[in-house]
């Protein structure tokens, strides 16, 4: 049986969390989060199962970070499209196209593998000829999106959704996953989190069991938005770069429907 990882995002959000934990361990993690907070998370349109208190906020759906401000800010609710697995975006996108987004690295223990993965993720996006392009500016820490290596055992990586027409500015990447994995895996993780930064939700947002196993879940409507992207399928979409979970051997370049979604938005 493959060991699956769940790719997590933050609300402005995005994080990777190892799902191979016991039921009791999940219950212990969720016990740290109040019912009021779980209700607020659910009202935003995110799953309130297995919420992790982390970094002064909460990680939901395995890789999405929500700050306390995200939970209390009142926004206009948007009705979600109820379907199976499709490409979904949030209500917030990057504006001002054509536009170049710089990407940098910072933190201790930056490996050549991680740097190669960042450059490969940037190249994947730029190969699509979008109005939104990326430029890697090295280990400077001053990119529009900065990927920071952090010491954590709670997730693989985390990021967020756009705000004010700008991409989410920080991807946190766990030091434990900067070596010992394939270039394809690291590239896929980085490209996935960059996808959250520019407004993509999980392809299997409506039924995470498609990539994660277990039982499916309907997250309902919420204020952050999960808008179906025109032209993408209404059935399962294998190997999408924005699927919620992946294995240690996964490599997911953009599939045909990913390319349609990227082209439609950018």
| Least confidently predicted of 143-152, 155-164, 249-258 | 155-164
Please report, in angstroms and rounded to a whole number, the separation of the first and last CA atoms in the chain.
37
Tokens of 229: 């992207």
For residue 206, the model assigns a pLDDT of 62
- The tokens describing 132, both together, are 């939104």
Instruction: Spell out the CATH class of 1-266.
Output: alpha beta
Residues 6+ apart with CB under 8 A from 170: 145, 146, 147, 148, 159, 160
Mean pLDDT of the chain: 76
Residue-level pLDDT at 3: 57
Pick from 4-13, 98-107, 130-139, 207-216: least confident: 4-13
Domain positions in the chain: 1-266
Residue 4 has pLDDT above 80, yes or no: no
What's the pLDDT score for residue 7? 55
**pLDDT of residue 188 exceeding 90:** yes
Query: Quick check: 137 pLDDT over 80?
Result: yes
Beta carbons within 8 Å of 189's beta carbon, 6+ residues apart: 7, 16, 117, 156, 157, 173, 177, 246
Distance CA 120, CA 194 (A): 12
Higher pLDDT, 196 or 114: 114
For residue 102, how far is the Cα from the chain centroid? 18
Q: Is pLDDT of 15 > 50?
A: no
| Mean pLDDT value of segment 137-162 | 92
Instruction: Kindly report, residue by residue over 234-250, the tens digit of the pLDDT.
Output: 555 778 898 878 888 89
The mean pLDDT value for 188-217 works out to: 77
- Tens of pLDDT, residue by residue over 45-95, are 777 777 888 778 888 776 777 778 778 764 433 333 323 334 544 557 899
């Amino acid at each position: 049986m493959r060991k699956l990882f769940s790719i997590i995002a933050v609300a402005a959000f995005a994080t990777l969390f190892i799902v191979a934990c016991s039921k009791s361990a999940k219950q212990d993690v969720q016990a740290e989060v109040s019912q009021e907070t779980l209700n607020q998370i659910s009202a935003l349109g995110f799953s309130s199962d297995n919420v992790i208190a982390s970094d002064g906020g909460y990680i939901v759906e395995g890789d999405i970070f929500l700050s306390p401000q995200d939970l209390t800010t009142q926004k206009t609710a948007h009705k979600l499209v109820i379907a199976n697995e499709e490409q979904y975006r949030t209500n917030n996108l990057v504006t001002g196209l054509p536009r170049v987004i710089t990407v940098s690295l910072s933190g201790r223990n930056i490996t050549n593998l991680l740097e190669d993965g960042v450059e490969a993720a940037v190249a994947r996006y730029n190969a699509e000829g979008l109005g939104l392009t990326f430029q890697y500016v090295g280990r400077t820490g001053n990119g529009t999106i900065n990927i920071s290596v952090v010491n954590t055992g709670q997730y693989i990586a985390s990021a967020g959704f756009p705000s004010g027409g700008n991409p989410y500015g920080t991807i946190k990447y766990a030091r434990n996953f900067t070596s010992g994995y394939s270039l394809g895996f690291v590239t896929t993780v980085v490209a996935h989190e960059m996808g959250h930064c520019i407004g993509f939700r999980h392809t299997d947002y409506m039924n995470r069991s498609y990539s994660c196993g277990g039982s499916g879940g309907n997250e309902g409507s919420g204020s952050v938005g999960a808008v179906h992207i025109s032209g993408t399928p209404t059935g399962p979409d294998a190997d999408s770069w924005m699927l919620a979970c992946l294995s240690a051997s996964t490599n997911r370049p953009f599939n045909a429907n990913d390319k349609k979604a990227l082209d439609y938005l950018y």
